[in-house]
Amino acid sequence: GANSCRPFIAFVLGGPGSGKGTQCARIASDFGFAHLSAGDLLRHEISSGSDKGQMILDIIKEGRIVPSEITVELIRKAMETTDAKRVLIDGFPRCEENRIAFERITGTEPDLVIFFDCPEDEMVKRLLGRNQGRVDDNIETIKKRLKVFDNLNIPVVDYYSSRGKVHKIDATGTEEEIFGAVRNLFASLRF
Ligand code: AP5
């Protein structure tokens, strides 16, 4: 809620394959953030074998977006159970409806939004090259995910840009180069 002891919250946005998960793992270990991935929380629910998990699987296979109540509730619970002072929320909010639901349910806004900017052809290449291909890493679903990203996620980035919260990072280079830019950002924020 809107209490004064809530953690510092950073949303991490970027297209599928932009490297959000990869960079978040490094930020978490170097800067003491808890890493909450919306996608991982959903996949965890799927592997539990619940009815809700089956419904989530059907949606993810098609590259569509899971209903806000489900995702926000998973994130809210994960935030509640961590005692970290800093939290990265990776791959969320996915759309304006997600953003509004998060703000309503938690009564708070992110302190920072990191946006990993990557060209489409590079994202496609990375996803197709992923070692253990996920159910949604085939070319047909990747195209849908990219379209959903353009149509629904970019408006969220624009909203937070207009509120001065977005720090855009060029995500075309090597993992090391990108993390260099991340480090510079955190240094400029005095982390
Ligand atoms: P999610 O799990 O969030 O997937 P995504 O956004 O599609 O992104 P990825 O995890 O595929 O990529 P990433 O940007 O994290 O890149 P990564 O570091 O893995 O979401 C999956 C699905 O869940 C969605 O489509 C949706 O259906 C559902 N969902 C999620 N959130 C939701 C929400 N809020 N509401 C409703 N539904 C939701 O890197 C990708 C690959 O590239 C890896 O193999 C990696 O090794 C490699 N790589 C990383 N960096 C580099 C680099 N610099 N150079 C070369 N290769 C690199």
Q: Which residues contact 129 (CB under 8 A, 6 or more apart)?
A: none
The yes-or-no verdict on residue 111 having pLDDT over 50 is yes
Could you tell me what percent of the chain has a pLDDT over 90? 95
Q: Is 124 a domain residue? A: yes
The CATH number of whichever domain residue 120 belongs to comes to 3.40.50.300
How much is the mean pLDDT over the chain?
95
Per-residue confidence band for 2, with pLDDT thresholds at 50, 70 and 90: very low
Q: Is 189 a domain residue? A: no
Domain count, the chain: 1
Q: Tell me: the pLDDT tens digits for 81-100?
A: 999 999 999 999 999 999 99
Q: Is 3 a domain residue? A: no
CA-based Rg of the chain, rounded to a whole angstrom? 16
91 is in an annotated binding site: yes
Q: According to the model, what pLDDT value does residue 117 have? A: 98
163 lies in which domain range?
Answer: 8-181
Atom of ligand 1 nearest to the CA of 91: 3
Q: What is the DSSP string of 119-159?
A: -HHHHHHHHHT-SS--TT-SHHHHHHHHHHIIIIIHHHHHH
- In short, whether 167's Cβ falls inside 6 Å of ligand 1 is no
Angstrom distance (rounded) from CA 86 to CA 96: 24
Q: How far is the CA of 75 from the centre of ligand 1 (A)?
A: 17
Q: According to the model, what pLDDT value does residue 4 have? A: 54
pTM: 0.94
20 is in an annotated binding site: yes
What type of residue sits at position 127? L
- In short, whether 126's Cβ falls inside 6 Å of ligand 1 is yes
Q: Is 85 a domain residue? A: yes
